[in-house]
Amino acid sequence: MSKRYKIRTFISCTVFAIFAGLLFITNACEPQPPQNSPERAYNDSPDLVVGLIVDQIRPDFIYRYWDHFEEGGFKRLVNDGMFFRNAYFRHLQTSTGPGHAAQLTGASPMVHGLIGNSWYVRELDRNINVIEDVGSGYEGVGSQPDYPGEKSPNNMLPTTVGDELFMHTGERSKTVGISRKDRGAILPAGHTGDAYWYEGATGNFITSTFYMNELPGWLQQFNDRNLPQEYLTGTWDTLLPIEQYVESRPDNNPYEGTFPGMDTPTFPVDLAYLVEEHDQGPGLLNATPFADELLFELGVAAIEGKELGRGDVTDMLMIGLSAADAIGHRFGPASKQVQDYYIRLDRYMAEFFNYLDSEFGLENVLVFLTADHGAVYIPEYMSDLGIPTGHTEFGTSAGGQVENEIRDYLEQTYGDDFLLSYSNQNLYLDHEFIDQNGLDHIVVQKDIKRFALSLDQVGGAITANALNNQEFTEGIRARAMHAFHQQRSGDVVVWLKPQTHGSGTGGTGHGSGWVYDTHVPLIFFGYDIPAGQSNERVFVSDIASTLSVYLNSPFPSGNIGNPLNDFMK
């Protein structure tokens, strides 16, 4: 063997050894599946999807009350889940109906058609509720005889994640929506699921004949436990000593509303006294944290009664936690009542997660938490701090002022008030009046827009003609475009200035396109979700396609969202 060949052979073997060693080291450094997370087959999906939709939660509540949380609730979600800290709604009118629809249709109101919790219908000359099924003949089930039961998801035009999964699995998958609010249960349940909601007059959870003709046995048994009556024999006081609630404003202040029968918005709230002496019924529970504690109890009953997550396909449970909304509307986001609610919610979630873990293993349950909208600080409070708002005086409705001034302008300019309705930030004009008087629709829209922009409370306006003929990609006009449905919206869309809401009462509101209403938390947890955080701008409508990817299911029919699964590898 030649010397040259020996040297070449030595070099080749040495290079091979080095390469093999590097390959071993590289493979050893590759991210490995967590030891407690089994390898998933290509078409695997979770046993159960649980949606926690907290009505009116702002992302800053999680940071603000962090030191008061225990380890098993919000801290478990944030530390073990994927937290999207920069999630928004695309649409202008941020209320419960449009928000719930966006989450599970993956669309905005321009597609799903729910332009508010209610809106004006020209053919009926009145507003309809978002889940009102006009002329359907549906009746309440398990409710009082006079209950208005014409309720269904039929105003929501596209399919939901649950609908697509139901069809994809040969009608084996089950979806259940539960909430204190009817719309908070009906819309997340989709068109093919079951929905149950709270009747304040009786303290029972009910449904409508759209779904079934009698309550299932498991729900009748739950109602027979009379849990609301137990809560209403007690008192709502702070869970922790009130002196520790330094993150919120003084308990007694002039900006907050009160419970009927109470002179001040303060703790404690003697629920038994309000029931006995002020004729308050089970509906009193709605504005207390106990309404959502009751809902988690119902969630467990639904899982066991419907055998959710027990079959060979994925099931879904959507929980609309709406006590937060009622408390926020009455007391505002800086109140001690709101702080106590979230401290209690933290404990409720921890107990519920422990239940899911013991029943299924959280590696087999996909949980997401988000909101249907945020909320604004009480405008009168901000005004007193020197922050500009659109309110002119305490106790007045900014929206009502705008409507009155526009009606006066039409009377003076055109000789008649032909505004049919100012509903949901939409001005609906009488088209017949415009035609009969030889007026140009586009010119009239522009004229009213110009006048609206001259009003102190108004932050912006845009005509239906502009929304029909232009596309906006960013900013408040883009949100107006996403909120505009060509068949259901009005002729001019008007929005109020920042730090303004329309109610004019104690407590807070929502419904604007500003950040405090559109920015909400979005957290995925359990299943194969890794721990992490992202500041990437995402949208609540991205939830639907994200879930669909995890479920190996078709996207909802109107989906415009983008899957976030690549963030969670």
Sequence-ordered list of residues with C-beta below 8 angstroms from that of 409, at least 6 positions apart, any chain: 448, 451
Question: DSSP string of 290-355?
Answer: HHHHHHHHHHHHHHHHTTTT-SSS-EEEEEEE-HHHHHHHHH-TTSHHHHHHHHHHHHHHHHHHHH
Angstrom distance (rounded) from CA 327 to CA 292: 11
CA distances 167 to 48, 159, 174, 543, 567, Å, are 17, 11, 11, 19, 28
Closest by Cα among 419, 425, 424 to 444: 419
Closest by Cα among 161, 207, 136, 176 to 45: 161
Q: Is the dihedral of CA 260, 263, 266, 267 positive or negative?
A: negative
Helix (H), strand (E), coil (C) string for 452-471: HCCCCCEEEEEEHHHHHHCC
Angstrom distance (rounded) from CA 523 to CA 58: 13
CA 30 to chain centre: 38
Element (H, E) at 1: none
Phi, psi of 423 (to 5 degrees): -125, 125
Sequence-ordered list of residues with C-beta below 8 angstroms from that of 176, at least 6 positions apart, any chain: 189, 193, 194, 195, 196, 302, 306, 308, 315, 316, 317, 318
Q: Partners of 87 in the beta sheet?
A: 520, 538
Question: DSSP string of 196-259?
Answer: EEEETTTTEEEEETTT-SS--HHHHHHHHT-HHHHHTTSEE--SS-GGG-TTS--SS-TTS---
Q: Partners of 204 in the beta sheet?
A: 199
| Cis upstream peptide for 268 (omega within 30°) | yes
CB atoms within 10 A of CB 1: 6
Angstrom distance (rounded) from CA 45 to CA 41: 9
Angstrom distance (rounded) from CA 136 to CA 248: 46
DSSP 8-state code for residue 412: H
> Could you give the residue numbers annotated as active site?
96
**Cβ contact 300:355 at 8 Å:** yes
Closest by Cα among 437, 400, 442 to 418: 437
Closest by Cα among 333, 329, 320 to 369: 320
Closest by Cα among 332, 322, 340, 156 to 240: 340
Measured between alpha carbons, how far apart are the two ends of the chain, in Å? 54
Angstrom distance (rounded) from CA 80 to CA 50: 16
